Structure 1
Amino acid sequence: MILNPVRHITIDAHDPHALARFWLAVTGYLPDEEPDDDEVLITAPQPGAPGLLFIRVGDVKAGKNRVHLDIQPPEGTRDETVQRLLALGATVYEDHRTPEGLGWVTMRDPEGNEFCVERSAGERGLPTS
């Protein structure tokens, strides 16, 4: 059987450099950009994880994303991560947190692409190493 690993997740952007900088701050990925290029790739520090490729497009995002990223904080809490991402320019789109502390927050990046912030491994009672 031949496996086809995901090499990149591609995101259309009006300003690929600005959007890549936002996602660098979100993910801790590594930059790989040329200032005049219409494509910006950021790569994961872990081998085998897909990169995020931002490509300049002229059209406007229309409707809900059919694919989105789920972010799980490696440390701290979901709510601390939501606050950090708000400070970076994200917005809350839908809040699915429950009074018991479960749930997730659907956010939008600075160009309106949806992503979710889940509870951290620690909040789930899982090992954090």
Structure 2
Amino acid sequence: MRLRHITVDCREPYELAAFWSGLTGWPVSAIDAPGDDEVLVEAPEPVPGLLFVRVPEPRTAKNRVHLDWVPQDRTRDEAVARAVELGAAVHEDHRGPEDRGWVTLRDPEGNEFCIEHH
């Protein structure tokens, strides 16, 4: 089998997809539009896309699964700053000496993710 999408339940699919598109540099699918109940951020092959699906209930507990990201075109600290600029919030800072460690952030709907040093 091949992993096709990583699906995230959310209240505002297009807005959350726009955040993740801005962070990853991957495009929002050309067939998706504001107000859609499902919006795809298209990843380069063979990486699975990020699919955002509208659900009525808000997030109420810690994520059981989260994504760990390693920046390719900037430093970890630059990527963290970019995420915050786009609307993320720093949740826990685990940076250590000599550029070790990671930062746990929350996207605009509170979903946790990490940005690590490469």
Cα deviations by residue, 1:10-57 (Å, 9 ceiling, x for unpaired): 00111000000000011111211133420001111x222101100001
The 2-side partners of 1:81 and 1:49 are apart by: 19
Greater share of helix = 2
For 1:25-104, what aligned pairs fall within 5 Å after superposition? 25-32=22-29, 33-44=32-43, 46-104=44-102
Give me the TM-score of the superposition, normalised by structure 2: 0.93
Give me the TM-score of the superposition, normalised by structure 1: 0.85
The 1-side partners of 2:16 and 2:35 are apart by: 15
Larger Rg: 1
The 2-side partners of 1:21 and 1:107 are apart by: 17
User: Gapped runs of 5+ residues in structure 2?
Assistant: none
Compute the RMSD of aligned alpha carbons: 1.1
The 2-side partners of 1:35 and 1:102 are apart by: 39
Tell me whether 91-100 or 20-29 shows the greater mean CA deviation.
91-100
Cα deviations by residue, 1:75-117 (Å, 9 ceiling, x for unpaired): 2210111111111000000111113321000000000000000
Deviation, 1:62, is: 1.5
Identical positions, percent: 55
User: Gapped runs of 5+ residues in structure 1?
Assistant: 121-129
Number of aligned residue pairs: give it.
Answer: 116
Structure 1 stretches of 4+ moved >6 Å: none
